[in-house]
Amino acid sequence: MRIALVAHAFPPDSVAGVEVCALRHARALQELGHDVQVVTAVRDLRAATGSVRRRDGTGVDVVEVVNNHDGGGLASTYECPPVEAAALAALRGHAPELVHFHHLLNLSAGLLPAVRALGARTALTLHDYWLSCARDGQRQRADFATCDRVEAATCARCLASSPQLAAPVERRALSAAAAVGLGGLLQAAHRRFPRLGAAVLAALRSPAPPRVTADDVERRATMLRAAFSAADVRVAPTRFAAQRAAEAGLTGEVHVLPNGAVETEPVPFVPRRRRTIGFIGTLAPHKGAHVLLEAFRGLRDPDARLVLRGSGLTAPVYAAELARAAGADPRVRLGGPFAPDDADRAFAELDLLALPSLWWENAPLVAQEALARGIPVLASAVGGVPEVVGEPWGRCLPPGDVVAWRAALAEAFAGRVFAEPLPPAPVWTATRAARALLELCR
């Protein structure tokens, strides 16, 4: 079967959970004998929005569509005619019988109904809460308060400070730089000096931040509901995510299907001393690494170790503050991000994984990866996490509660928990998930 996967970003440029999940699903489908193509978005100030290029650095045929968010405003984050046309042309060339949408951020919501018009079956995975939240699908405001209820006026005020929306002055400055051939230089400089880049962008935004109205938010919600409801098959990796989609007005059945992004069958848990705990994820406030660090530093165990791994490009100021706090404790080590194919090496040094998130995580890949390798997980009891991390292979804790996290770490280091042998955790592989999704589509 000819199958296309659509994602908002893709490795090696982006290695967050959804992107890695899409990569592993693509590889699993190829191993099952299917003809697979990935269509994704990329930001590149050296090229025009809507331009297309191909690459194959991951063993998968990838079509990248450039989206520099030139249009501005909230609409540009979910409705971009040049990007939609380019992506649709790429899909038409592949002539897929099935198109699996992992995410439409950076692309265009109209792509989903347009693909159906081509005669292809469509599947949609709800990896997060983008349907109801334009701030990166996190359901969390700029002050990190969780949005239990969605109100258009509140969303409009929140989005004025969202990094996903470019302010008018910011857009003009970036467009001018791109026009004189400095776009690539700016991107390289931002990667090399992220804190400076963040400061410059903040200065460009301050005179006139993006203007978003409640009507803009309502229009987005209406279009996304219609687009998402058009999918032939809708799946969510947790019941929690399926319920949030229903609350947001998504019509039709949402099947709960584990996203199963691990590559090998889970292994049994072997008893051993738990001395090294690791955090793997984006170094940004909503991921809660500071909570873990504060809890760990309150322990006096000289043999305990903490490893913090992840990219600080998303929140460079936060990452720098975290590094300063970590530097005060010789037991703490900072590591950078790693490629998906290097996951074995990154997990090999850990005895325990921590997921101290403060937002509604859905079905975090990093927790599944640890559990599949026989590594227990301490996680925040948020979102869909309790459906993924359960006793006896892991434990869920109150989010942001430093005292509770410190007590749980002390128990693990002392061998009072996670000390007995256990059968493999019930984690799905990418191959199993791919087969299950194909069966639903049939």
Closest CA to 299 of 246, 354, 349: 354
Residues 36 and 56 in one domain: yes
Q: What is the pLDDT, as a whole number, of residue 308?
A: 96
Q: How many residues does the chain have?
A: 442
Percent of the chain having pLDDT more than 90? 66
Q: What is the pLDDT, as a whole number, of residue 160?
A: 80
Last residue of a domain, one of 184, 205, 226: 205
pLDDT per residue over 179-214, tens digit each? Answer: 666 556 656 655 665 665 566 556 555 566 678 899
Q: pLDDT band for 345, please (50, 70, 90 cuts).
A: confident
Measure Cα distances from 193 to 14, 92, 198, 320, 393 in Å: 18, 40, 9, 12, 40
Residues 328 and 352 in one domain: yes
Over 80: is that where the pLDDT of 294 sits? Answer: yes
pTM of the model: 0.89
Report the CATH number that the domain containing residue 387 is assigned in CATH.
3.40.50.2000
Residues 238 and 338 in one domain: no
Residues 335 and 396 in one domain: yes
| Those residues with Cβ within 8 angstroms of residue 58's Cβ, 6 or more apart along the chain or in another chain | 10, 11, 12, 23
Residues 25 and 139 in one domain: yes
Q: How many domains does the chain have?
A: 3
Q: Which of 26-30, 67-71, 362-366 has the lowest mean pLDDT?
A: 67-71
pLDDT per residue over 45-68, tens digit each? Answer: 888 889 999 987 778 999 999 998
The reply to whether 427 falls in a domain is no
Residues 229 and 90 in one domain: yes
Residues 290 and 180 in one domain: no
**Cβ count within 10 A of residue 293:** 22
Residues 108 and 175 in one domain: no
d(CA 237, CA 20): 15
Residues 142 and 174 in one domain: no
The reply to whether 27 falls in a domain is yes
Four-residue CA torsion sign, 187, 191, 38, 61: positive
Structural domain harbouring 249: 2-149+213-262+433-441
Residues 9 and 118 in one domain: yes
Over 80: is that where the pLDDT of 176 sits? Answer: no
The reply to whether 40 falls in a domain is yes
Residue with tokens 């996951």: 343
pLDDT per residue over 89-103, tens digit each? Answer: 999 999 999 999 999
The reply to whether 328 falls in a domain is yes
Q: What is the pLDDT, as a whole number, of residue 174?
A: 59
pLDDT per residue over 233-256, tens digit each? Answer: 999 999 999 999 999 999 889 999
Higher pLDDT pick, 75 / 218: 218
The reply to whether 160 falls in a domain is no
